[in-house]
Amino acid sequence: MFFERTLGIHLESINASFPIVLITGPRQVGKTTLFEKYRSEDREYVSLDDLQERNIAQNDPVLFLQLHKPPLFIDEVQYAPQIFPYLKIACDRTRRKGLFWLTGSQQFRLMRNVSESLAGRAAILDLQGLSQAEKLRRPESPVFSPDLDFAPPLIDANGVFELLVKGSFPALFGGEVISSDLFYGSYVRTYIERDVRDLVKVADEHAFLTFMRVLSARTAQLLNYTEVAGDVGVSVNTVKSWLSVLETSGLVYLLRPYFNNLTSRAIRTPKLYFMDTGLCCYLNGIKTADSAFDSPISGALLETYVVSEILKSHWHNAKSPFLYFYRDRNQREIDLVFEQNGLVYPVEIKKSANPSARDIRNFAVLREIGKTSGKGAVICLNDKVFPVNRDVNMIPVGCL
């Protein structure tokens, strides 16, 4: 079963504007499927998962491009970084658009080679698992902003938690009944074996799995390297190294704090979020919507779900989000701060159907630090868009 992807709506215009289109993201989120949906008959497909093709691309890139001429789709291109300078030469020689489509799962290696060889020639697109809008067959969903006119939600609070536990990998929505435990267990094992071992040479795979579980229990929290290191039994430097792999693989996201020259008391530590709440629930042993709702970390899971959906609304529309959080030493916190067009938009996320004025009391801190606020929002479990006051709306999670 194919789900229309929001990013696909933009692919034609992007392809007409750049010689190279590169889609990055975690494994099994649909990068290849998306390109295949729009690939014309004259665009050859080559996967570097094929060891013979990979060997040629690595050892004789000139021959590889003689055998496979553009327009060309190269899948899993991170396996042959040697080819990037030759893609640059091909682009500069012909100066045509849409020559190469590329996918890759290891963003650390990809981005290093893209920045060195393909700057200005490649459109770099981020794809995550299915967004809530894509699951509900609304791929034309716009970039999230608190001042949008939202349509009524298509799912209620229970539906939100069912999607939260199931996660966002397309394989879980393909029409076949797939055990989430089996899928995520296999995914984690394959991820550790193929990506983690390759990137950081992990000697103790059990310790890395413990590390992932420790992080999953801290989703939507300030990142404390020392505490994580103590719980896993490794050094702080090891935690930083392992976390960089999760981040560059697209499995976790570090939300940076918002501060300027008037926020001397603002905390500078990032918050950590898992990008797929199904994976996060699996690592926490949460199997049902009811157990997720009743879990001690249910509020953090809902916040994680909302943040990942907002990020996907930007990335899948080929936009870069200017998204932060605010917290200071007086414990004043704003879950999300959008910055766009010279304004900041404060957002709170509440596991409640009836947020109150008390929940938005910290929005005033933005004026204290010299910023002009746009429309604010409380994203919650209500069933309709409703004003908290003249400047802030309640927005159901089901509207995202």
DSSP state of 354: S
What would the pLDDT profile of 57-94 be if each residue is shown by its tens digit?
A: 999 999 999 999 999 999 999 889 899 999 999 999 98
pLDDT at position 264, please?
55
Distance, in Å, from the CA atom of 156 to the CA atom of 188, rounded to the nearest integer, reads 30
* Token couple for 16: 């007409």
| CATH 3.40.50.300 in the chain, residue ranges | 6-126
Tens-digit pLDDT profile for residues 182-225:
999 999 988 887 777 767 777 778 889 999 999 999 999 999 99
Q: What is the rounded CA–CA span in Å between residue 78 and residue 85?
A: 13
DSSP state of 171: G
pLDDT at 386: 87
CATH of domain 6-126: 3.40.50.300
| pLDDT value of position 295 | 96
Scanning the structure block, which residue is given the tokens 């916040």?
303
3-class secondary-structure state, position 381: coil
Q: What burial class does residue 96 get, using C-beta atoms within 10 Å of its C-beta: 0-12 exposed, 13-18 middle, 19+ buried?
A: exposed
Q: What pLDDT shows up at residue 147?
A: 87
Q: Which residue from 300, 315, 366 is spatially nearest to 143, judged by alpha carbons? A: 315
pTM, to two decimals: 0.94
Low-confidence ranges of the chain (pLDDT < 70): 106-116, 177, 198, 260-266
Helices and strands per DSSP (H, E), number in the chain = 17, 14
**Which tokens belong to 380?**
């919650």
Report whether 317 contacts 10 (CB < 8 A): yes
